[in-house]
Amino acid sequence: MAEFPKSIKNLIDAFERLPGIGPKGATRLVFYLLNTPKAYVNDLSQALVKMKEETKICQKCFSVSEQNICSICNNDHRNHRQICVVERAIDVMAIENIGEFKGVYHVLGGVINPLDHIGPDDLKIDELVNRVRTICEEELKKMGEESNNCYIVEVILATNPTMEGEATALHIKKRLEGLNIKISRIGSGLPIGADLEYADQATLCRALDGRRDL
């Protein structure tokens, strides 16, 4: 039985380690690349290295950025007193894509997951608490007595509506208690366009709990 040439085998192995790409998919990709212009393969190769070299973690919200502070945290037109807490940087982009949210973000870097040995200390929860506390203190100084009647910061917990995401949201809620802030959780229920008939029980249950007055 003949084998693939070594350079092809190496690339198949490298592709196979990507999520969602199995041995067959990796082989198909490599043989597709064999027939593409060299320029594209070089572009892809360089884009990989550059992505790794040029991206940093924003020191404020822990999203990805090419500067030390990302373009969202650096934007004075955004509401820095409304913080959307998400699991991963990719979730920031998902929310940015709707173009509705005008606040800022905080990327946790995952969720609490005892099975994977990920505890609260492995996530950017302390950083979130400190960040919110600092904003509260700064705003209090500015506002003085007025501040008693309104919330200073809104924290929107937008972790995924999974078991781990819910647990992480509850944990963060507890950690933020005592601060003069509003804490909310993103709505969950049936997605738009869905069919009640095919919805799972947990989603239906959540949809009923989360019913809104019309």
Residues in contact with a copy of itself by the rule CB under 8 A: 1-8, 10-11, 13-15, 17-20, 25, 27-34, 38, 40-55, 64-66, 70-72, 75, 88-90, 92-93, 96-97, 99
Nearest approach, Cβ of residue 89 and a copy of itself (Å): 6
> CB-wise, 97 or 201, nearer to a copy of itself?
97
Nearest approach, Cβ of residue 109 and a copy of itself (Å): 9
> CB-wise, 42 or 130, nearer to a copy of itself?
42
> CB-wise, 49 or 196, nearer to a copy of itself?
49
Nearest approach, Cβ of residue 39 and a copy of itself (Å): 10
Nearest approach, Cβ of residue 212 and a copy of itself (Å): 27
Looking up tokens 């092809």, which residue turns up? 8
> CB-wise, 90 or 202, nearer to a copy of itself?
90
Q: CA–CA distance from 190 to each of 97, 177, 185 (Å)?
A: 20, 30, 16
DSSP element (H, E) containing 46: helix 38-54
* Burial class of 172 by CB neighbour count within 10 A (0 to 12, 13 to 18, 19+): buried
> CB-wise, 1 or 150, nearer to a copy of itself?
1
Beta strands in 50-162 (DSSP E): 56-57, 64-65, 79-86, 103-107, 153-157
Three-state DSSP class for residue 107: strand
Give the separation between CA 199 and CA 188, rounded to whole angstroms. Answer: 13
